[in-house]
Chain A
Amino acid sequence: MGKIKYHMLVCGGTGCHASASDEVLKNFQKLVLEQGLDSEVQVIKTGCFGFCEKGPIVKMLPDNTFYTQVKPEDCQEILNEHIVKGRKVKRLLYVNPETKEPITDSKHMEFYRKQIRIALRNCGFINPENIDEYIARDGYQALGKVLTEMTPEAVIGIMKQSGLRGRGGGGFPTGLKWEITRAVKADQKYVVCNADEGDPGAFMDRSVLEGDPHSVLEAMAINGYCTGADKGLIYIRAEYPLAVERLKIAMKQAREYGLLGKDIMGTGFNFDIEIRYGAGAFVCGEETALIHSMEGLRGEPTVKPPFPSESGYLGCPSNVNNVETYANVPAIINKGAEWFSSIGTERSKGTKVFALAGKINNVGLIEVPMGITLREVIFEIGGGIKNDKKFKAVQTGGPSGGMLTEKDLDTPIDYDNLIAAGSMMGSGGMIVMDEDDCMVSMAKFYLEFTVEESCGKCSPCRIGNKRLSEILEKITAGNGTIEDLDKLRNLSQVIKDTSLCGLGQTSPNPVLSSLNNFKDEYLEHVTNKKCRAGNCKSLMQYIINAENCIGCTLCARNCPVNAISGDRKQPHLIDQEKCIKCGACMEKCKFNAIFIN
């Protein structure tokens, strides 16, 4: 005995963590020891597998068995059946939603088939708290190669040639940014990692940091070598405790190996990293606001130029890149610019990580090549719309993006196509909406978010967005007029043109794109006072059908605001002025006499 036959990978991402994956892991470790299986089985905690919908995930290797929704009490059965008897535990296998057949092997899952994993290459594969596993998978090789065999110019050349563009939303060419930062002369420069991920429903950066923190550290050191900086700063929100913890462990281990610190690999190159915490303000994802927040000032943006590459943290040139952008760097150095640029479309190279959320079957994290269509993402990888409802729209780019509809489903996803379609790549959140979602309410939701998150420094954003949100409120309350639609459009344009930073310049996008794509829905709200999705409560009316009502008085007795009147054995009537639309009457009526208009 003594040869490991199985690796059991237990997901330790935040999603699975929340559904007790930690106990699953501990239970496995305990049972394996108790039963003397520790010479045959290795239990490993990994980062996110992306299949958060069905967590906690346990993957068995080498046979790729994919167990979903594993509970701590299932551990014994998995060990007994899978490891000892060699039989898969059928009831825990992922079931193909179409054929209803259990899938024994993750290679056959539609979810993984179209994905290419570069930034997430180690997520769900290595133990993020163990630097050895990262090193075994080519970790820090890129840094070693760069430091010993390449000039900074050559590295920047590779980055430029690879075509990598900023994954935080802007899509600025990464190599070019590095070159600009390098060109500025200064005694002190900084490498900054923007981990202030704030879009509602987005968790790409968190997953990278939780699943593969070393890839970001390595890339920051590479950037330091290229730009001439010896200090790195990671700006991360304090709401990501697990990511922070793993980063700290990673930094400690890297220092112990001498991969961060002084004289790295005997090349004389010094580089170390510090963590800076954010308080979770959305605007601090904007690079100038982020830098001010790190300096201890209010998280408010300032006018660019000067760009951070010229004058950033403490007035020093600072190279700010996002987490996912950094995570791509070591792979590009190791495998070459040509390999990377062979993936993707003409102007958008490589892959993009998306967080699927909303009314979609496979909520989770995916990494797909640029140029894939929305249809493939939503219907093949995402498994389609929940409860077989009809697809209505998908919001990309978070509160700064726009809604894409049926007509955009076959557009290849890349930076330029999404902008042409009236949205943007953004950081990678994808919120899917179905026929039950009201587009006016969605626009209102995003506006409320930006109103909340606006720093208040410039008036267009502070006041303009507030007004937009008020107009939307008025429309959803059933008091809108046709003129309001024009006002929305004009005001949106002004805010876009005159706001100080990216937050304000993009905040009206959800309004504009929903107006463009769902004009008829807005019109229905203002002219017919109707919400087809049944979302806007003020536009709903509970009405009693006099033919079915037998006058049992049950509804009147249950109405909490006494809005229903009528004599016994006579049809009743709802006073619309008093009605609070709670639906209690409809629930109680035994004769289906109450309906929603």
Chain B
Amino acid sequence: MEKIKTLADLKKKQDELRAKIDLREKGNTPEQHIQVKVAMATCGIASGAKEVMETFIEEFNKRNIDAVVTQTGCMGYCYAEPTVEITKPGQEPITFGYVDVKKASKLIDKYILNNELVDGIIPVNYQSIDKI
């Protein structure tokens, strides 16, 4: 094993290793990051939710965007699968329907980076338990 010879070495090492536990760190403080929840029930998976989730994870990584991607159960909008709920820190969650791989990239470009809304928003007709 290579020795750590200076404080700079240690810092470099930490930077390399940080990615390994990054997911855990973010999971610890989800409210401080952009949260993307992909509905991954049978209907979602059948319509390609897995690929959509992959796209989000890969794009965030590639572009160095600070976000947590989690999968959730069926949100109940089976007609509009795959559905994705995006929560930006301090903002209300917004649910988007018909999100395929192409639209996932568009969501990142428009909504996540530039706060522009994209079509396919599903009006919120539920309340999340967090707010009660």
- Residues of A bordering B, CB below 8 Å: 1, 3-7, 9, 61-64, 85-88, 107, 125-126, 132-133, 135-141, 144-145, 147-149, 256-259, 265-266
Residues in chain A near residue B42, CB distance under 8 A: 85
Asked if B17 lies at the interface with its beta carbon under 8 angstroms from chain A, I say yes
9-residue interface stretch from B2-10, B85-93, B95-103, B105-113: B2-10
Nearest chain A CB to B65's CB is how many angstroms away? 14
A327–B35 CA distance with the chains assembled, in angstroms:
32
On whether the beta carbons of A147 and B7 are closer than 8 Å, the reply is yes
Select from chain B the residue with minimum beta-carbon distance to A1: B54
Give residues of chain B (67-85) contacting chain A, Cβ–Cβ below 8 Å: 68-73
Residues in chain A near residue B14, CB distance under 8 A: 135-136, 138-139, 141
Known contacts: A135-B14, A258-B4, A258-B5. The answer to whether A4 contacts B41 by CB under 8 A is no
Give residues of chain B (17-48) contacting chain A, Cβ–Cβ below 8 Å: 17-18, 20-21, 23-28, 30, 39-42, 44-45
On whether the beta carbons of B41 and A257 are closer than 8 Å, the reply is no
Nearest chain B CB to A296's CB is how many angstroms away? 34
Select from chain A the residue with minimum beta-carbon distance to B60: A3
B: contact size bracket: 35 or more
Q: Using A61-B23, A107-B30 as known contacts, list a sample of 11 further A-B pairs with CB atoms less than 8 Å apart, ordered by residue number in A.
A: A1-B54, A5-B53, A62-B23, A62-B30, A132-B20, A133-B17, A136-B20, A140-B10, A145-B7, A257-B1, A258-B5
Nearest chain B CB to A300's CB is how many angstroms away? 42
On whether the beta carbons of A85 and B41 are closer than 8 Å, the reply is yes
Select from chain B the residue with minimum beta-carbon distance to A3: B57
A1–B58 CA distance with the chains assembled, in angstroms:
9
A-B pairs with beta carbons under 8 A, tally? 104
On whether the beta carbons of B24 and A125 are closer than 8 Å, the reply is yes
On whether the beta carbons of B9 and A265 are closer than 8 Å, the reply is yes
On whether the beta carbons of A135 and B10 are closer than 8 Å, the reply is yes
A143–B4 CA distance with the chains assembled, in angstroms:
12
On whether the beta carbons of B70 and A63 are closer than 8 Å, the reply is yes
Residues in chain A near residue B23, CB distance under 8 A: 4-7, 61-62
Residues in chain A near residue B70, CB distance under 8 A: 62-63
A137–B70 CA distance with the chains assembled, in angstroms:
22
Select from chain A the residue with minimum beta-carbon distance to B72: A86
On whether the beta carbons of A86 and B71 are closer than 8 Å, the reply is yes
User: Which residue of A4, A5, A126 is within 8 Å of B71 (Cβ)?
Assistant: A5
Known contacts: A64-B30, A135-B14. The answer to whether A259 contacts B21 by CB under 8 A is no
Nearest chain B CB to A126's CB is how many angstroms away? 7
On whether the beta carbons of B73 and A144 are closer than 8 Å, the reply is no
On whether the beta carbons of B27 and A144 are closer than 8 Å, the reply is no
Select from chain B the residue with minimum beta-carbon distance to A254: B4
Known contacts: A1-B54, A3-B54, A63-B70. The answer to whether A141 contacts B40 by CB under 8 A is no
Select from chain A the residue with minimum beta-carbon distance to B61: A3
On whether the beta carbons of A133 and B10 are closer than 8 Å, the reply is no
On whether the beta carbons of B24 and A7 are closer than 8 Å, the reply is yes
Give me the 8 closest cross-chain CB pairs, A-B, nearest first.
Answer: A62-B27, A86-B40, A61-B27, A258-B3, A144-B7, A136-B17, A86-B71, A256-B1
Known contacts: A141-B10, A147-B7. The answer to whether A133 contacts B54 by CB under 8 A is no
Residues in chain B near residue A125, CB distance under 8 A: 21, 24, 28
On whether the beta carbons of B21 and A133 are closer than 8 Å, the reply is yes
29 A-B residue pairs with CB within 8 Å: A1-B54, A3-B57, A5-B23, A6-B23, A7-B24, A61-B23, A62-B27, A62-B30, A85-B42, A86-B40, A86-B41, A86-B73, A125-B28, A132-B17, A133-B17, A135-B13, A135-B17, A137-B21, A137-B25, A138-B14, A141-B14, A144-B7, A144-B10, A148-B6, A256-B3, A258-B5, A259-B4, A265-B6, A266-B5
Residues in chain A near residue B58, CB distance under 8 A: 3
User: Which residue of B7, B11, B27 is within 8 Å of A7 (Cβ)?
Assistant: B27
Residues in chain B near residue A1, CB distance under 8 A: 54
Residues in chain A near residue B13, CB distance under 8 A: 135
A256–B1 CA distance with the chains assembled, in angstroms:
6
Nearest chain A CB to B128's CB is how many angstroms away? 11
Residues in chain B near residue A132, CB distance under 8 A: 17, 20
On whether the beta carbons of A136 and B21 are closer than 8 Å, the reply is yes
Known contacts: A3-B54, A85-B40. The answer to whether A126 contacts B73 by CB under 8 A is no
Known contacts: A3-B54, A135-B13. The answer to whether A148 contacts B7 by CB under 8 A is yes
